[in-house]
Structure 1
Amino acid sequence: MSKFLKSDQLEYGDQTITLYELSALQRIEHLQFIASAAKALPADADEETLYPLLVEQDIRQGARLVAMSLWHADPANSDIEQLYQDVLSGWPITLIGAAVRIVKSLSDMLPEDEEQPDNPVETVALTPEKSLPAS
């Protein structure tokens, strides 16, 4: 873990998860991931076809952002791709959303007028009808 990166704790049930600010390189990689995903969307899709694809993209982008953050806990023994798959397959959508808000807050990636909620797990409830906060 870099001594320069901020961290914060997220409590979920009886678990405490330490999340870290993204490094400069990770921010670049995150932007590249978002751009690549946007290019993969069909240009001629109608709203009904596009909506589920956008929700899927938001979930994947959030899970990847969380995985990049978690990697800092043990960079020598962690693999971001494996962490990404672990988050996608083992975390509920509400936990991904709460973690995304914390990582974005730590990384100064939220608009200035958005404040960190007191309990992000309860505040950020994601369903297929609701998307993640803007990436």
Structure 2
Amino acid sequence: MSFLKSEPFTYNGSTIQLFELSGLQRIEHLQYLAKEDKSLPKDEGDEDYLTARVSSNLRVGARLIAMSLWQGDTSKDVDSLHHEVLSGWPPGMIGAGELFVKTLSDMIPVPEPENEVENADTVAEEEPISAEKPLPVS
């Protein structure tokens, strides 16, 4: 029994089921991010910095997707799924898949629809603002 959310992810006409990350996977993801960050050159002026950063971003995104895919197929390990994603998915799909998994896992804030923001402003405008303390109701 799985308590994790899952949704179909479609890219360029192909659909695959992706899953929310578990708590343990989120911890592992943060550890992987820290390890990747340590591997980058510290001097941003270094001519290899941009190449290293782009490569790192692709590895991180592919790893996140592999962790998500693992929830649907535990017969493979995350490392082999990571390699499959890196070798078989185009960079745009990796980026879109990473965003999809992060959104599904509530790892990034979901933007509010504009009409809800407008309604919040309307409610705020309707309530008068006063510096006086409200009197107790008798």
TM-score by length of 1: 0.76
Could you list the runs of 5+ residues in structure 1 that have no partner in the other structure?
A: 116-135
Q: What residue in structure 2 maps to residue 101 of structure 1?
A: 99
For these two proteins, the number of residue pairs brought into alignment is 113
**Higher RCO (CA-CA < 8 Å; seq separation 6+):** 1
Could you list the runs of 5+ residues in structure 2 that have no partner in the other structure?
A: 114-138
- Structure 2 counterparts to residues 87-98 of structure 1, below 5 A: 87-98=85-96
Q: Which amino acid in structure 2 is aligned with residue 37 of structure 1? A: E
Measure the CA separation in 1 of the matches of 2:30 and 2:82. 16
1:78 to 76, 79, 82: 76
Q: Which runs of 4+ in 1 moved over 2 A?
A: 12-15, 42-45, 111-115
> How big is the alpha-carbon RMSD for the aligned residues of Structure 1 and Structure 2?
1.8
Q: Which amino acid in structure 1 is aligned with residue 54 of structure 2? A: V
**Could you say which structure has the larger radius of gyration?**
2
1:98 Cα shift?
1.3
Q: What residue in structure 2 maps to residue 130 of structure 1?
A: none
Q: What residue in structure 2 maps to residue 53 of structure 1?
A: 52
Q: Which amino acid in structure 2 is aligned with residue 18 of structure 1? A: Q
Measure the CA separation in 1 of the matches of 2:89 and 2:69. 13
Q: What residue in structure 1 maps to residue 108 of structure 2?
A: 110
